[in-house]
Amino acid sequence: KRMPAPERFGRPGIYAAEGEKRGRVALLMGCVQSVLDPGINAATIRLITRLGYEVVVSGEESCCGSLTHHMGKEQDALARARRSVDQWTKADVEAVIITASGCGTTIKDYGHMLRLESAYAEKAKAISAKAKDVTEFLTGLDLPPSNKNMRLAYHSDCSMQHGQKIKTEPLKLLRNAGFDVLEVPEGHLCCG
């Protein structure tokens, strides 16, 4: 059986789980990932479907609102948050997987951002609770070990370690994959 061309992954639709279905998740395609390196999302879809999860890619969401929020365009950011909340609520997923940590920080804050809107407060809170960085999601699964026998240095980005408070999951995944991981001295500081 041949694997489809990578560009097939990431188009709106539902990607079937391989083997026994373990669950259903959504993947944020995002505005940054889809432009800078669409291969990240394509690889994420391939991996998660191989692990038995159906992956929903919405045709309606594209940007979580993080960038416009940082530019001070709050109404635009809130509109994007509402659109994403609607899509993921409708998709009836157990998790929303995010591959860009800045987006993850924002989506995990949807409950706070939309707390004063009666039509969205509870839905946004539920989506925030389902938001998972891909490393959080994968760490919770039983992945097969690997023996890469390679040494690498790891420096977490600020939005991952400070915004989302994710510190151990990426290291655990890398070590379980067989890498000898060196943590960067003063890695809690910004990389510049």
- Please, what are the domains in the chain? 6-143 (3.40.50), 146-192 (no CATH)
Scanning 23-120, the segments in alpha helix (DSSP H) are: 33-36, 38-50, 66-70, 74-91, 101-107, 110-113
> pLDDT per residue over 43-95, tens digit each?
999 999 999 999 999 877 678 999 999 899 999 999 999 999 999 999 999 99
Would you state the pLDDT for residue 161?
72
Burial grade of 145 (CB within 10 A; 0-12, 13-18, 19 or more): exposed
Beta partners for residue 138, in sequence order: none
Rounded to whole angstroms, the Cα distance separating 28 from 46 reads: 14
Query: Does residue 145 have a pLDDT over 80?
Result: no
State whether residue 131 is helix, strand or coil: strand
State whether residue 24 is helix, strand or coil: strand
> pLDDT per residue over 95-125, tens digit each?
999 998 889 999 999 999 999 999 999 999 9
Would you state the pLDDT for residue 11?
79
pTM of this structure: 0.84
For the chain, give the mean pLDDT. 87
